[in-house]
Structure 1
Amino acid sequence: MSSPGITVLGSGFGALSTVRELRARLCTAPITLISPRAELHYLPGSIWIPSGRRRREDLVVPLAPFFERMKVRHVQAEVTGLEDAGRTVLIRGAERIANDALVIATGGRFIRKLPGIEHAITPCEGISAAEEIRERLGAMAGGAIAIGFSGNPKEPAAVRGGPMFEFLFAIDTQLRREGRRGQFTLTFFHPKAEPGKRLGEQAVQGILAEMRRRGIQTHLGHKPLRFEEDKVVTEGGEIPADLILFMSGMTGNAWLDATALPRSPGGLVAADAQCRVRGWPRTYVVGDAGSFPGPDWAPKQAHMADLQARAAAQNLIDALAGRPETAGFKTELLCIIDTLEQGKLVWRTDARTIALPWLRPLHWAKAHFERRYLKRYR
């Protein structure tokens, strides 16, 4: 009887990197990947959609050719649960898919609990959100724009702050290029006095200095209470806003609630340093879906998902062969915060933190990385 093989849940950075790493390590086991669509949506590039520098078709990559090259069977469906300690995946329509090993890479979910959250756009929810920002900006003759983010208080790592700095600076740059900046006020808000501390003190001070240089107002150290159609209400007062961009902290996807998977206090899948789901043999988690041991500045970003995918792939192969699972991953924050014209490189490890000044070549480097990354899947 043939083996069920390996099942990967998701089609984002962590899932696709896991597939590549398995095949790069000469794993010949059958791979079934389950996701609602056979597409990669490259969300880091969505910061360039409002300015017209990117379009949807630039950032959506059909995955059928990649699946064919990697000999992957794609099942287009939504996961609804797990049985048999991970050996059976339930999908919508009551079908069951068996596996010898499972990788969970279905990403996270933004917490939408603040009253009036429907008045805010959450940019990292998808390309459609960036397109809505583009349309809203284009229709505004002037007004007030408020941009901010917060975290999951029970999961310090489950936050996406970097993209919000990028949307802030990119919108400022775009309005200046269009000769309209004088008709707008931009305000950045955050519940902490020093936003983005996971980037390191030097980077935070550089970002705040750039806001001052651009005339961007700040409203820091006050917890948001609610959003209204024309304002952000915080514990420290109100921020007028005709357009609100807000990124909340992340928690686990809703389908996890129908499983017995171990969860972190913040709602993510609890994993060990080898990306193994605690207490579930041959079941692994990578990327935003997981809660991993490590420093509280550990990032939720594609680079980190790639590092975790390497460890998960090697440990999965070793587990199937009956060998000890010892592969770990390093915690590393690596990003370029882009302004449409310049970029700031931030690199943080346990040993050091480096934050370069704003440089135009780093803007080009970010675009070059995008092209190289997507070439793997086109």
Structure 2
Amino acid sequence: MTHIAVIGAGFAGLTAIRTLRKLDKAIDITLISPKAELHYLPSTIWIPSGLRTREDVIIPLANFLTRMNVNFKAAKVTGLKDNGRTIETDQGTVTSDGVIIASGGQFIKKLPGIEHALTPCEGVEVAEQIRDRLKALQGGTIAIGFAGNPNEPTAMRGGPMFEFLFGIDTLLRQQGRRDAFKLVFFSPAEKPGNRLGEKAVESLLAEMDKRGIERHLGHKMQGFEANKVKTEGGEFAADLILFMPGITGNSWFNNSELPRSAGGLIQADKHCKVAGFDKVYVAGDSGSFPGPDWMPKQAHMADLQAEAAAKNLLAEFKGTPANHTFKVELMCIVDSNEKGMLVRRTESGSTVLPYCRALHWAKRGFEKIYLQKYR
């Protein structure tokens, strides 16, 4: 029986499994991940305010894997060899006839003193630390910012930082404490969020002005100290620092012959196939794909890439053309804990719907519908 291994239990990995099983009821599938859990990171923005807890955003996958008839290997991948046929893990090797790599990326933590900053998208535990630090603070400066991978324009996480920024502002206002704090948004980009489109940037900056949030933009990062953000354009004090660095490839990629982009990600074509490898595909943050420099890879985009990867891998086994591609689409709701702004961008244009309460509830509704697939 043909055996496919899927590496990673995030958006791309689980969408790949659903697509594979929908198209082939008999194929043997193994999921390799440290835990049989989906960590729904888009909702961690609501943990500091108490709208969500870890139990709300960590979804056990036992029921899903049983329904999908998927084997589970609890392990961390450490390498790939034999042209992709052998996956090395800290719990032994896994052999397969085809592989879909969806193990995400890792944050570039090279700035001096970066240990003094919290990186929100690292997961639930960090979101809980932000919640607890906010509770303990009586006042002061909160600095929130992000940077990218200079060699991989698409490898960044800007959207969530706007959500933490506006969400914290909303929370402090609801608590009657906003006057005791200064919020500063910082980024080496002069127009942060430019990947969302010009209209979106204008709306985000206008929202900062409306909320009295200061900005420190257009200056290359130099590093951090325990209570300080340092840039080439000056430094400023901060009692709490949230910073999202750029993303590069997982360390286990180094223990493989996988082709890498300049930014350290796995080089793939428009069909999500890894260049030079037989029946090895990649989706989401792990890969570097052809497309516009604003193209995202996480969440919705990872789902679209995973569908294409799964369809093409099965096509190869069946001897049919593996020519499925993915639509390039940026779709997100930038939330503020009580309102949301919708941003949709495609190669034909962009749409921005201004902040309103209905979009906040739409984001919560999407969460419920999406997670129902895995409960």
Q: Could you tell me the TM-score, scaled by structure 1's length?
A: 0.98
C-alpha separation in 2, matches of 1:365 and 1:269: 34
Report the AA paired with residue 29 of structure 1: I
Residues 287-326 of structure 1 aligned to structure 2 (within 5 Å): 287-326=284-323
Contact 1:159 1:300 in 2 (8 A): no
Describe how 1:207-356 pairs up with structure 2 within 5 A. 207-356=204-353
2:40 to 42, 46, 60: 42
Alignment check: 8 A CA contact 2:21 2:27 kept: no
Residue 118 of structure 1 and its aligned partner are, at CA, apart by 0.4
Aligned to 2:66: 68
1:112: which partner in 2?
109
SS in 2 for 1:121: coil
C-alpha displacement of 1:300: 2.7
Select 1:79's aligned residue among 68, 77, 87.
77
User: Match for 1:281: what amino acid?
Assistant: D
Matched, 1:57 2:55: yes
Partner SS, residue 343 of structure 2: strand
Shift of 1:141: 0.4
Shift of 1:362: 0.1
In the alignment, which residue of structure 2 is the partner of 1:152?
Answer: 149
TM-aligned CA deviation for residue 23 of structure 1: 1.2
The 5 A counterparts of 1:141-180 are 141-180=138-177
Following superposition of structure 1 onto structure 2, how do residues 8-19 of structure 1 map, counting pairs within 5 Å? 8-19=6-17
Tell me the distance in 2 between the aligned counterparts of 1:183 and 1:153: 36
Structure 1 unaligned blocks of 5 or more: none
CA distance in 2, matches of 1:82, 1:232: 39
Structure 1 position 4, deviation (Å): 5.1
Determine if contact 1:15/1:105 at 8 Å carries over to the other structure: yes
* Cα distance, 1:83 vs structure 2: 1.3
SS in 2 for 1:175: helix
RMSD: 0.7
Q: Is the 8 A contact 2:155 2:248 kept in 1?
A: yes
Is 1:363 the equivalent of 2:360? yes
Q: Distance in 2 between matches of 1:300 and 1:246?
A: 20
Structure 2 residue identity aligned to 1:172: D
CA displacement 1:175-223 (0-9 Å, x = unmatched) = 0000000000000001011001000000001000000010000001011
Distance 2:302 2:34 in 1: 20
Residue 25 (1) aligns with residue 18 (2): no
- Equivalent of residue 189 in structure 2, options 169, 188, 192: 192
Q: CA deviation at 1:27?
A: 4.3
Deviation, 1:24, is 1.5
Q: Provide the rounded CA distance (Å) in 2 between the counterparts of 1:28 and 1:211.
A: 53
The superposition leaves residues 28-84 of structure 1 with CA deviations (integer Å, 9 ceiling, x where unpaired) of 210011100000000100000000110000001100110000000000001111111
TM-score normalised by the chain length of structure 2: 0.99
- Per-residue deviation, 1:88: 0.9
